[in-house]
Structures are given as structure tokens and as C-alpha cells.
Structure 1
Amino acid sequence: MHLGALFIASHVLTSGSVRETARRFQLSPSTVSTAIHNLETELAMTLTERASGELATLIASGRVLEGLEPIMAAIGELGQWAGHDGAGIDEAWASRIPVKIVTMERFLEVADQGSINRAARRLRLGQPQLSLQLANLEKFLSHRLFERQAQGSVLTEEGRRAYQIFMAISQAWNDLKSSADERYRRTARSLRIGSIIPTGSESWVARCLGSLVSEWNVRRNNNAISLVSMTADDLREALKSGRIDVAILDSVFGLESFRHRELLQTDMVVIAPPDSTETSVADLVASHAICMPSPRTGLGHAAMAFSYERAPNRRLRSQDITAADSLPVIVDLVANHGYVSFLGRVSAMPIADKVRIVDLDEHLPMSYHVAFNHRKAAADACTVIIEVAARITSETVARTIRPTDAGARETAA
């Protein structure tokens, strides 16, 4: 990180505005955004988020601002020493300080060793490279920092002042970074599991994840469990980007490079309003508005194709077919607003008191899967998930689904 970037990021966190900071320092918004992004990356934490087009600072930003206070004070002292104080610190100058923290720490190492050669060996740098960095630092500050003597390098009076300022910055930054390193270690140890959004707390997905956490902790595994529910599209992207380690979803399309195991098999059914009277799927599809999982999911794709095939003359079908990636919303539309939808039987059975379940006129099989990355903990969690899913589903719908054995086939691209 450059000192200038830290100065910019501090003002963003204080003002809560990228554009206001950019105007204040006469910088482009992209430069300001990059500064705050780099700080978030260095500290391994999110400090801001976009809400309705506006920047919102998160609670964690307050603690970071406190940690940056010694650095801001040191930048003010640096500006005063360099002749950029005036009535107050020259903010335009401070926001453009090109000095990196790593360069300051190398200066401190040379001062502590009393020799550029010894410091270069400890830092595993070339002596010419280190000498050039020190020369550029002296040029920026317009002060000579070392007297080069036969015995080594000795700090000048200006160098001793720079030492005090840079030491304050280094200590404050290392305090912030040590907290970030601990957060990173905790994150690295945790096992992040993502699932499709369950229909409710009674669904097999929710019960499966609850049992997983309970059994995982009883076994005293070293990796803590972290759970998140999201849409099928988001699950795929999160697994590819490494934000999650395991994904429970209804299709492994596009995840050929990941290991995956079949979790359970079921068949597709129609869920209809509890007071509906139509006896055939074709009549239900023709008479009711439809809300179904997104066609980007395995279930949604199959349901969309089935509905079009069974009701080719369906009135206004293009206007009243709604895709939704939220199963709780779909269930509410069916139970309370007269819609029909399609679900796997294993997902429909736990909500049989809220909706009417209608069998298709032909068996349409579908399956759920767990996809996971290379971590051993991820593979271990998948084994537990499969065992739990088999137990839960066999208890509730033993006659309608066939859970895959815990030793199901495993594939890897």
C-alpha cells in the first residue's frame, strides 16, 4: 500500500462517499475506488458495500479508522516536515504520496542494521535495488537520510526524524495487518458450504444442513462450518471463484472441473393451490399462472420444457410464467395466490399441508448433487451430507425416492 492510498481510503471511510473524496482531492473516482479496494484486500475484510447506488460503510470500518489514526497523524507530521502543511495538511499532496509502506520498512531495516549491505542480505534484496529505493525516498522527502561512511550508513538528523515517523506508521500498519492475518487464518480453516435456498425450515435441505453442523461438531473436526443459501447460478459462481467449498444443487452442469457425487434421486411433481380442482396436469398448467424455478437450474429447465409440451395452446402463457430462484416465494405463490409450480417430490412432501401435490402423467426423474473442491474437509463433509440426506429422506418419503448409497460414484474431470 502507498501512503497516499491509505490517506484516500481513510477519507472514504470517514465521508462515506467515493465521489466526494474524488472531488476533494481532485482525483478520478476509479483511483479512489481502487484505494479502498486495495485496503480491503490488504486487511482481508469488507469495509463498504453498494446500497441503492450509494456507498455504505460497514461497522468494521469504524475499527479500521481507529487503527488508521496513528498513520494519519504521522502523514500530517510528514507533510509538516516536507513543507506541505500550511493551515493544515495539504490534502492534494497527501493523497498522492507515492511512498510504499514496504519501502519505509526497508529504510527502518537499513537504519537498524547500520549498513545497506547487511540490510539487503537480511531482506534478500540486491544492494543496488535497495540503494535506489533509499535514493528515491530521499529525493521525495528532499532530505538526506543517511551519511555513507566506511563502517556503514549512519542516520542524519533528518533521518532520525524520518525514523520516528516511519516507525509510527509501520507499527500502526502491522497492528492492523495482524488482525487481518488472524481473520484470514480463521477463514482458511472454515469449511464454506452453499446450498440451494430451501423451501423452509421443514425442508430436507434445511434439516440436512442442521444435522450436518450437529454431527460435524460432535466429531470435533478442525474445520468450522460456515453455511450460506443462494440461487443455483450464484452457487456455481461461488464454487468456481473459491468463495465456497461445497455446493448442494440440482444440476452439476458447468461444474465438470469439480468433483461431484449424486446426493439423492427423486421425481418431479406439480404443486397446486390447496383449493384447486383440476385433476390433470394439463388442466392445471392451462388454468393457472405458473411460477417455477429459473430455467437456468436443472429443475427449472425440465419444468419449463414439460409445461410447454403439455399445454401448447395455453392462453397467455408467455405473460404469466414467472421464473423465481426463491423456493419460499414459489411456495407462497402456490399456497396463497393461485399459482402452480414444479418441485422435486422430496422438496414437496414436507409442505404437503400447504399445497396440493399432483403426480405427472409420466415419471420424470431428477437428482440432487453435491459438488466440491479439492479440500479433504470438503470431501469429508460431502460424505456426512449424503449419509444425513439418506437418513432424513428415508424417514419421510421412503416410498417415493431412492437415496444414493453413501459410497456413490465420484467423478473428477
Structure 2
Amino acid sequence: MDIRQLGYFVSLFEEGSTTRAARRMNVVQPALSMQITKLEDELGQKLFERTSQGMVPTSAGELAYRLFAPILRDLSDAKQQIVSRSSTVSGRIVVGLVASVATSVLARSLAVFARQYPEVEVSACDGYSSSLMEGVRAGSLDFAIVNKGRRRLDLPAIDMLDEEMVVVTSAGSARGLGSPLMFRDLAKLPLILPSKRNGLRLIVDKIAEDEDIELSIRLEVDAFATVEQLVRNSDWATVLPAIAVSRGLSEGSLRAHRIVAPRVTRQIVCVHNPRRPLSAAARLFVEVITAELVAAAAEISRVPAAD
């Protein structure tokens, strides 16, 4: 058994296909298959079953992955730490983000990250939490920054930020709303909310269902810039995390009203595929964007709320 064989095994386990695993390891398919066979012979265990869905690990293969993957990860980290003493972190990361995070802190985070780690190539896209998590499962995304729903996640998650959601109105609204508001007060407001595909909408809908409250939803809009403009120029209201409309709140064109009984909160987490641990570059990116999220939330908290 050698490190090369372990690398081939982990690649095949994570890819589920000898073709994709061979491409990932930059070897021809027969060479990879031969090394897997040698590893099985040495261990005296069949590690994979060939099926119509691809190479499916056996119970012995599952155990081998749990034991071997951390070894390879530790070796990679050790190499990175040694190499980083004389060179910068490098590589490519592909990340997906929910729109509220992309709108509020992505540009600033990318600028900071590019300045600190210029050798890392970043590909970023936004989307709904559900579609981003599917991208992580399928392997098209290395990791994703999403809203954590009430259901238990089936992906490893790193907590990044817990944030209150607030009622947002025009600063010149004639409704004279104070702060805080009872959640039940939302039933009296004409609302603009994200669509039901959006994780933020699911949070609001679940609380409304639990509280037996029927909301008056006039418009469903997922583009936060459009929501901000509509609220600014009307007597309508929305329910969003403050950082999603931070510009309007900071400029004073929008007003935030806290919600109580119950509070409405969203939790931002980073999820990744359990078969693909985060690389050093990915972990550094998560650290940078977490710091920017925390800073943005702290900055917007200093903006006076409605009385």
C-alpha cells in the first residue's frame, strides 16, 4: 500500500466513476483500475461494486474511506503549510452563494481575498439554497454559502452568522410603524417577499404557519435591488435580513423595524460535500467572507432603528 494507491482510491470513492477518477488523477483508466485491484488484494477486501449507477463502495470501502481520507488530507495540509512558508496559497475554488450574501458582501470579500491570496482563482455564482446544495452534492460546486433551513442538513456545515430579519419600510412611510413589532403585526402590512423558492421566504412562511397568521403578500420578487427600490418608493414593506438592504438603511431611505414574539432569524452556513473536504484555499475564503459578514452585520446594527 502506498500514498498513490490511497489517492486513487479516494478519488474513485468521491467521483463514483473510474473515468472521472482517472481524469482527476491525470492517469489512464486501466492504470487506476489496476491500482485499485492491487489495493483490494492487499487488504483482502472488495472495496467497490460495479453497478449501472457507477462504482458503489462496499461496507469495507466505506470504512477504508473514513480511515484513508483524513490521512491524505493531513498530508496535503502538512505539505501546504510547509510550502506556504516560501510561496502563496494557490488553486481554484468554485463557490455558490445565496443572493443576500452575494449582494451584500461578495464584492468586498473577493477584493480582500484576491489581495491576500492572488494565486487562487475564484469562480462564484449565486442561487437559491436548495439549488446550491444540489450543486455541492453533484460536485459542480466545491462549497456553498446558504441559509440553513429548519430541516436537518445532509451536508457538513460550518456556522458563519446568525442574523435577525427585520421589517423594512420606506423612511417616509405614512404608516407610522414603531419598533419592535409583533410578528402578528405583519398581517396588517402589504408585503413584498421573495418567492417560495427562496430560503428567506420559507423562514417567514414557517413562522406565519406556526403562529396561524395569514400574510398579505402583494408581490413576490427575488431581486433584492428591485425589492429595495419598490419599498423605497411605496407604502409597502418587506421582511429581509438587514444586510440585504444595507445600502438603503445606511443612506436613510429605508427604515428597519425589529420583530419580536417570535423573533425572525436566519442562519448562514457553509456546506460542502462530505466526500470532498474543503481545501486550504476554500477554508481561507470562508474565513474572509465570514469576517465580512460579521463586520457588515455589526455596521448595520449601528444604524438607528425605527422608534
TM-score tier by shorter-chain length is 0.5 to 0.7
State the partner residue of 2:290: 386
Give the partner amino acid of 2:222. D
The answer for the alignment partner of 1:358 in structure 2 is: 257
Work out the percentage of aligned pairs sharing the same amino acid. 15
The answer for the alignment partner of 2:193 in structure 1 is 292
Q: 1:345 to 1:206 in 2, by over 3 A?
A: closer
Contact 1:208 1:392 in 2 (8 A): yes
Give the number of aligned pairs. 207
The one-letter code matched in structure 2 to 1:299 is L
Q: TM-score, normalised by structure 1?
A: 0.42
Q: Distance in 2 between matches of 1:296 and 1:347?
A: 17
Partner of residue 263, structure 1: 160
- Residues 326-345 of structure 1 mapped to structure 2, 5 A cutoff: 326-345=223-242
Give the superposition deviation at 1:341.
1.5
Query: Structure 2 CA distance, aligned partners of 1:220 and 1:230?
Result: 25
| Aligned residue number for residue 367 of structure 1 | 267
Which amino acid letter does the alignment assign opposite residue 303 of structure 1?
Answer: V
Residue 208 to residue 349, structure 1, CA distance change in 2 (3 Å): closer
Amino acid at match of 1:356: R
* Structure 2, gaps ≥5 residues long: 1-90
Q: Is the CA contact 1:348–1:357 (under 8 Å) kept in the aligned structure 2?
A: no
Instruction: Write the letter of the residue equivalent to 1:195.
Output: L
CA distance in 1, matches of 2:208, 2:166: 12
How far does the alpha carbon of each residue in 1:191-233 deviate from its partner, in whole angstroms, 9 at most, with x for none? 11221224xxxxx644532233223223335430112122333
Judged with a 3 Å threshold, the aligned counterparts in structure 2 of structure 1 residues 331 and 244 are, in CA distance, closer, same or farther, namely: same
Change (3 A) 1:255 1:242: farther
Change (3 A) 1:309 1:220: closer
2: CA distance, partners of 1:269 / 1:258: 28
CA offset at residue 292 of structure 1? Answer: 1.4
1:264 deviates by 1.1
CA offset digits 1:106-153 (Å, max 9, x no partner): xxxxxxxxxxxxxxxxxxxxxxxxxxxxxxxxxxxxxxxxxxxxxxxx
How many Å separate the matches in 1 of 2:120 and 2:206? 42
Structure 1 residue runs of 4+, over 6 Å off? none
TM-score by length of 2: 0.55
Q: CA deviation at 1:269?
A: 1.1
**For 1:207 and 1:302, how far apart are their aligned partners in 2?**
19
Partner of 1:216: 113
Matched ranges for 1:3-402 at <5 A: 189-198=91-100, 205-206=102-103, 208-220=105-117, 222-251=119-148, 256-274=153-171, 275-279=173-177, 285-307=186-208, 312=213, 317=216, 320-352=217-249, 353-362=252-261, 363-373=263-273, 374-376=277-279, 377-397=281-301
State the secondary structure of the residue aligned to 1:261.
strand
Q: Looking at secondary structure, tell me which structure has more helix per residue.
A: 1
Structure 1 distance, partners of 2:214, 2:111, is 50
Instruction: After TM superposition, give the deviation of residue 270 of structure 1 in Å.
Output: 0.7
Q: Give the distance between the partners of 2:118 and 2:155, measured in 1 at CA.
A: 23
Aligned partner of residue 239 in structure 2, secondary structure: strand
Larger Rg: 1
- The superposition leaves residues 44-77 of structure 1 with CA deviations (integer Å, 9 ceiling, x where unpaired) of xxxxxxxxxxxxxxxxxxxxxxxxxxxxxxxxxx
Indicate if the aligned counterparts of 2:103 and 2:244 stay in contact, CA closer than 8 A.
no
Shift of 1:395: 3.7
The residue aligned with 2:47 is: none
**Could you tell me whether the CA contact under 8 Å between 1:281 and 1:358 is conserved in 2?**
no
Q: 1:369 to 1:193 in 2, by over 3 A?
A: same
- Alpha-carbon distance between aligned partners in 1 of 2:120 and 2:152, rounded to the nearest angstrom: 24
